[in-house]
Amino acid sequence: MKNIMVTGGAGFIGSHLIERLIKDGYNVTAIDNFDPFYDKAIKLRNLTEAAINFHTIQNIDIRNMFIMRNFMKDKEIECVIHLAGLAGVRPSIEQPLRFWDNNCMGTMSILEAMYDIGVDKLIFASSSSVYGNTYTIPFKEDMNVDEPISPYAATKRSCEIMINNYWQLYKLSNICLRFFTVYGPRQRPDLAIHKFAKLIMKDKPIPFYGNGTTSRDYTYITDIIDGVMGAVNLIDKEHCNHIINLGEGNAISLNNLVHLLEKEIGKEAVLNKMHRQPGDVDHTFASISKAQKMLGYKPKVTKEEGIKKFIKWFRRQNDT
């Protein structure tokens, strides 16, 4: 297997993944519709940082099944890594129909295009948000996830179900990877670590929801990419239908996250304390035993190291 298509290729995770795939010798075709959720210039900078030729990224909307089908056929695609979609719990509460259209109908378009031309390998970026407020720690892939608490989570779970349906009906080989709060260089500016770092450095208050005891299993970008590459290797060798967590396997509270950022930045955060937000889960914590067994996955970057790396990148970006 050599010809791989990445959707959402100009994004945070997508640009890192393309960089790695090319380095490992794959022929990569990527698409991105440059949705205005955040500034297109940020995505173009992602490509520049990753030394990706802009012409490698085709401006295509995944919801157009006919264009998708013809494009994949022309490029002789053998495997699709589907990262594209709208992200964010709070925006999904404000615009649930838009999230359904982009995430679910977009995924359905990809599935139909793949079926039409006989592409039978799909790796899908799902999310830890599908677990909802599950209080059994750590989160395991065989848990019941039928009660998502945000439209975003519901779209990700719906996509998993649709993909499984194509396995049952058409034997579409697939691996759904549940990402746990990915961070690192090129992280989207709306996400907590990036947003907090920017505000702390400018001596502005950070939005601080609840009492700081909520926690997340933050996972560094290079570890996530290692996990995705493990999935690429697995799906190339095995006809499969798997759901697999990718996390660090270690959660940190909001209070402790802010302390880490303060320590690395050298400034104390100003907290704008607010009530908890609807749709936000209390905790995420990945069981990674399945990923270790099936993908050879072994996270290497601790949160302390990851925050240090991120802040170094952030300072460099703002010095240029």
**Terminal alpha carbon distance of the chain:** 40
User: In degrees rounded to 5, what are phi and psi of residue 278?
Assistant: -55, 140
**Residue 43: strand, helix, or coil:** helix
Given 152, 218, 220, 297, which residue is catalytic? 152
Contacts of residue 55, Cβ cutoff 8 Å, sequence gap at least 6: none
- Reply yes or no on whether 152 is catalytic: yes
Determine the number of helices (DSSP H) and then strands (DSSP E) in the chain. 12, 13
Residue 201's nearest CA partner among 310, 92, 296 is 310
Q: What is the DSSP string of 52-87?
A: --GGGEE---TT-HHHHHHHHHHTT--EEEE--S--
Pairing of β 205-209 and β 3-7 = unpaired
Our measurement of the distance from residue 91's CA atom to the centroid of its chain's CA atoms, rounded to an integer in Å, reads: 16
Active-site annotation, residues: 152
